[in-house]
Amino acid sequence: MSIHRWQTVYGTPHVSGRASGQLLASNLELSFWGGVDHVTGEVIDHSHPLYRQRLKNKILAIPGGRGSCSGSATILELIVNGNGPRALIFERTNEILAVGVFVAEELFGKTIPMLIVSHKGFRSILGWNGKEVHVQSHRISTYPLEPSVNDTSLSPPIDAHLHTPELSEMDKAMLQGGYKNDSGYSKAQAFAMKIIIRTASIMNAPSLMSISQAHVDGAHFGPASVLFGKRLRDLGGNFAVSTTVNAITIDQQRWRDLSVDMSFGTESEELARAFLEMGAKMSFTCAPYQLDSAPKLGDQVAFGESNVVCYANSVLGARTAKYPNMLEALIALTGRVPRAGIHLPENRLRGTPLGDSFWPLLGYEIGTKAASRIPIIAGFEYMKPPPSRDALKAFSAAFATSAGAPMFHMLGVTPEAEQHRALKESNTLSPGIAITWKDLEATWITFNQNSDFQIPVRTVDLISLGNPHFSLLELKTLSHLVHGRIKSPSTSVIVTTSRAQHSLATQAGYIAQLEAFGVQVLTDTCWCFIRDPVIKKDVKCIMTNSGKYAHYGPGLTGREFCFGGLEECVESACSGRWEGNMPEWIQAGVQNSH
């Protein structure tokens, strides 16, 4: 008699559906354009562990995509020609591949599930490589699915709906264009808005914003990409903003003289003509920044083609995300982009903004490596704005928890650090130690070690804040975060602070706002000493934003712990659960360090 050990991981579906197939898994990102043959589905990247593997009928699990914006067109061709994977499982959101999957579903009626799983969940899935895997709704399992089982019955108790961006009246009119109104918007714009909104949802963009120009790709990647461009034109597509076209796959004036295949040349010319008929300029260049129409400092634009994106942002000071092939054309039809990412000034220094959990993670990691030595920390000399006092408080507490040293120096930040710069530059000190994004990732996992990542959602009974004591600014920030929100009745929120800060916060009205939400504010004591009965006997899981308490709390209280930034703590206070998702800024750091 054989005994099966079925395994299950839950994720967030960016495209819902069901699929079964052999798992093909790798811990290395894959560029679909240039890394996968768009006709056969064979991995052609010589440096990739999946080299020569075929994606057809497989369940593909990789951390995410990388490389060219044209990966969206590659995955579209594979889905349409039947040589692509049956489902995609990622550790990190990838807008480039997502757009290709969205277009396949919306334009061609071909759906493959696409799910995002937690870091630990992805590690578990890597261990299933080669096994038969089944995907349905939120569930990824080695357990066979019953055809009669309703998808929703397999879902864990989490919100099945992705974030929906707020739409302006113009956005709503375009979304219904050519179908339910006479506003003058076309069916092409309605289709474009569907894809833009779905992309904004997975980016967690609060709304859409306008751009002044676009640079689109009109290259012939295969039958699906040709049909995509011609379908937009036939649906009444007309570019709403000034639009240039990237280099195409033929020399339009000489392709016949160059003996290009007649069928390929004709289709390429038809595709290029479709973009021109929608109002694009006959630019056909991968260097539109050389044209008179090049954007200027501060211009909001939507550019495809990786080198153009980098040059426009870095050299010209324009603002554009790295837009996937096809999405830039859809944006050009509407003039609207997700209000997110590098379009926003606060995201242009580091790409993905650092969360407040960065400082306790960094402090704990540096303390672990420094041990009894007093470290000189470099890398924040030119940080604007510099670390706040609250950031340094969180750093200090976590550093002191893991280190034996009584202090640290941070160049450009702490008062005595400058006198040690010469020692550092003369190499007379001990050899330097680099702190990597992988180190912070490992520390985050350590702080959350008591959590079951196989099912990332956990019920949170208590939110613990104020170790060390909250400052007036932190009480103000928390009051703003909970304003207008409703706390879960099953989750308590307790903040510790000093009498002095409590008095100031009371005068400012912050304490009243916090108590209205359901926060209990304690003075005099702190979490190092709080036990029963303040921590109720039925509390099983505590969430904190303190690196110090994430370390000491499990031993002091005997409870399970999870860790996150202040905003994550508020989200858990409202939902009553912790989603177990690694912060995007850690994921982006790890991905960009490869």
Beta-carbon contacts of residue 268 (< 8 Å; ≥ 6 apart): 219, 220, 226, 248, 249, 250, 252, 255
| 332 in Cβ contact with 239 (< 8 Å) | yes
Residue 106 vs residues 117, 194, 357: alpha-carbon distances, Å:
24, 8, 38
Q: Say what the pLDDT of residue 352 is.
A: 58
Alpha-carbon span 19 to 451, nearest angstrom:
28
Dig out the tokens for 378 from the structure. Answer: 């470099």
- C-beta atoms surrounding 433 within 10 Å: 11
Active site residues: 68
Residue of 274, 283, 210, 209 whose CA lies nearest to 243? 283
Share of the chain above pLDDT 90, in %: 56
For domain 169-347, the CATH architecture is 2-Layer Sandwich (3.30)
Mean pLDDT of the chain, nearest integer:
87
Residue of 133, 174, 178, 183 whose CA lies nearest to 18? 133
Of all helices (H) and strands (E), which one includes residue 468?
strand 462-470
Dig out the tokens for 221 from the structure. Answer: 């990647």
**What is the per-residue pLDDT across 513-531, written as a single tens digit (0 to 9) for each?**
999 999 999 998 889 888 8
Domain 8-144 has CATH 3.50.30.10: yes
Alpha-carbon span 436 to 439, nearest angstrom:
5
Amino acid at 507: Q
- pLDDT confidence band for 492 (50 / 70 / 90): very high
Q: CA dihedral defined by 535, 540, 543, 546, rounded to 10 degrees? A: 60
Question: Out of 69-83, 175-189, 309-323, 463-477, which region has the weakest mean confidence (pLDDT)?
Answer: 175-189
Q: Let me know how long the chain is.
A: 594
Q: Say what the pLDDT of residue 1 is.
A: 39
**Burial class, 330, CB count within 10 angstroms (exposed 0-12 / middle 13-18 / buried 19+):** buried
Residue 303 vs residues 10, 28, 325, 527: alpha-carbon distances, Å:
35, 27, 9, 50
The whole-number average pLDDT for the span 20-43 is 91
Alpha-carbon span 293 to 316, nearest angstrom:
12
Amino acid at 339: R
Bridge-based pairing state of the strands 376-377 and 213-216 = unpaired
Q: Is the pLDDT score of 208 beyond 70?
A: yes
Q: Say what the pLDDT of residue 407 is.
A: 83
Question: Out of 155-159, 186-190, 299-303, 401-405, which region has the weakest mean confidence (pLDDT)?
Answer: 155-159
| 209 in Cβ contact with 241 (< 8 Å) | no
- C-beta atoms surrounding 145 within 10 Å: 17
Beta-carbon contacts of residue 578 (< 8 Å; ≥ 6 apart): 451, 457, 458, 460, 541, 543, 562, 564, 568, 572
Domain 457-578 has CATH 2.30.130.40: no
Alpha-carbon span 53 to 34, nearest angstrom:
15
| 445 in Cβ contact with 570 (< 8 Å) | no
Residue 178 vs residues 189, 191, 233, 238, 356: alpha-carbon distances, Å:
8, 10, 14, 13, 46
pTM: 0.66
Of all helices (H) and strands (E), which one includes residue 464?
strand 462-470
Alpha-carbon span 353 to 586, nearest angstrom:
10
| 271 in Cβ contact with 298 (< 8 Å) | no
**What is the per-residue pLDDT across 260-292, written as a single tens digit (0 to 9) for each?**
899 998 999 999 999 999 999 988 888 888 889
Alpha-carbon span 366 to 368, nearest angstrom:
5
Tell me which long-range contacts 347-352 makes (C-beta under 8 A, separation of at least 24): 348/313, 348/319, 349/384, 350/585, 351/588, 351/592, 352/584, 352/585, 352/588, 352/589
What is the DSSP annotation of 382-408? T-SSPPPHHHHHHHHHHHHHH-S-S--
Dig out the tokens for 83 from the structure. Answer: 């040589």
Top pLDDT among 379 and 84 is at 84
Bridge-based pairing state of the strands 87-90 and 58-62 = parallel
Alpha-carbon span 581 to 567, nearest angstrom:
13
Alpha-carbon span 122 to 55, nearest angstrom:
19
Q: Say what the pLDDT of residue 151 is.
A: 47
| CA 501 to chain CA centroid, nearest Å | 36
Q: Say what the pLDDT of residue 574 is.
A: 95
The three-state secondary structure class of 143 is coil
Structural domain boundaries in the chain: 8-144, 169-347, 358-439, 457-578
**What is the per-residue pLDDT across 360-395, written as a single tens digit (0 to 9) for each?**
999 999 998 887 788 888 888 777 788 899 999 999
8-144 and 457-578 have identical folds: no
Q: Say what the pLDDT of residue 452 is.
A: 46
φ/ψ of 321, rounded to 5, equals -75, 170
Q: Say what the pLDDT of residue 154 is.
A: 43
Alpha-carbon span 547 to 562, nearest angstrom:
10
Alpha-carbon span 32 to 74, nearest angstrom:
6
| 8 in Cβ contact with 140 (< 8 Å) | yes
Q: Is the pLDDT score of 450 beyond 60?
A: no
